Amino acid sequence: MFSGWLGSEDIGFVQYHIKRTSVTLLVHSILPLGYYFGMCIAAPDKNLWYVHSASEGWQLYFTMSVTLPLFSLVPGVVVTDTWVMKVTTYYLHVAQQQDIHLTVVDSKQHELSPDSNTPVQILTITVASINPNVKPFDIRLNSTEYGELREKLHAPIRNAANVVIHQTLSDLFLETFKSHVEVNQIYSLPSGLELEPCIGCMQVSANTKLLRLCQDEGLYEGQYEGDCQQCYCRPMWCLTCLGKWFASRQDQQHPETWLASRVPCPTCRAKFCILDVCMVQ
């Protein structure tokens, strides 16, 4: 409706969003109030012209019609070679790259993403400018987009909160893998048996053992088709390396199947699932 007046976002980005936010604010404000004033004319017996004397329901509607637009914010982030911008329904935050400092201040981990049924980490980054006329603002993004953001910026991003940033799907899955294994059965190391360094990284001691603990499902001509098998290997892997191995054997196009899948033991090739991974005590 207003495309002719708004112009092109590609040609005049700032001017476009100034006009857009103004129109959005005006339209959002007029619609609920317009309905209220329409009812004032259509139903004069309700005495809506005097809000204080109207019924509680109409008083609540009038209040919400004024305040709700302030909370209808759908932010977006635009990063160019010169500017960092945050676009919301009613505001446009703009900061010049050469004047800003970016700091990771918070991180939230979610077990499942509503879009892909995979783990997701959301980072909160504060953009502060040395220009006193530019107010600081926060941007939120998926950790998998963090590397792309760093490539567009000229200055480094500080990590004041010492947040561990998982930039790949495998990194995110590794955290979920560890949390599931930690609630599994504990394997007690037999007396006289000492733990050796993990053969994957040689940095820490092996601390996992594969035990067939899950329930078999379905028979196929007398055989357990695709089910877990008993592994007789001694503890040889740390939890991190075993988790990376588990993730590397998955179908990268279908991460929603990773938790329920089975992979071969990296040493003896016996199949196991997450329920079969035990921490060594």
- Residue 138 sits in a domain whose CATH number is 2.30.29
Bigger pLDDT: 131 vs 1: 131
Structure tokens at 266: 């990296």
Judgement on whether residues 62 and 119 belong to the same structural domain of the protein:
no
Judgement on whether residues 195 and 232 belong to the same structural domain of the protein:
yes
Q: How many Cβ atoms from other residues are within 10 Å of residue 243's Cβ?
A: 23
Judgement on whether residues 148 and 118 belong to the same structural domain of the protein:
yes
Residue type present at position 204? V
Long-range contacts of 178-182 (CB under 8 A, 24+ apart): 178/239, 178/240, 178/243, 180/259, 180/274, 181/208, 181/239, 181/243, 181/274, 181/277, 181/278, 181/279, 182/279
Bigger pLDDT: 27 vs 141: 141
Number of domains forming the structure of the chain: 3
pLDDT of residue 57: 74
Judgement on whether residues 141 and 160 belong to the same structural domain of the protein:
yes
Judgement on whether residues 89 and 151 belong to the same structural domain of the protein:
yes
Residue 4 pLDDT grade (very low, low, confident, very high; cuts 50, 70, 90):
low
Q: Distance (Å, rounded) from C-alpha 200 to C-alpha 124?
A: 34
pLDDT of residue 218: 41
Judgement on whether residues 13 and 80 belong to the same structural domain of the protein:
no
Which pLDDT tens digit goes with each residue over 52-84? 777 777 777 777 666 655 555 556 788 888 889
Across 27-31, 96-100, 202-206, 240-244, least confident range: 27-31
Q: Distance (Å, rounded) from C-alpha 44 to C-alpha 50?
A: 11
pLDDT of residue 86: 87
Task: Give residue 267's domain range.
Answer: 171-280
| Alpha helices, H only, the chain | 3-6, 13-42, 56-67, 146-152, 169-181, 239-248
Instruction: Evaluate if residue 198 carries a pLDDT over 90.
Output: yes
Judgement on whether residues 118 and 57 belong to the same structural domain of the protein:
no
pTM over 0.75: no
Block residue for tokens 């929603």:
256
Counts for the chain of helices (H) and strands (E), in that order: 6, 12
Give the β-pairing of 157-159 and 100-110.
Answer: parallel
Judgement on whether residues 33 and 96 belong to the same structural domain of the protein:
no
Judgement on whether residues 143 and 178 belong to the same structural domain of the protein:
no
Judgement on whether residues 163 and 86 belong to the same structural domain of the protein:
yes
β-bridge partners, 94: 85
Instruction: Sort 238 into a burial class: Cβ within 10 Å, 0-12 / 13-18 / 19+.
Output: buried
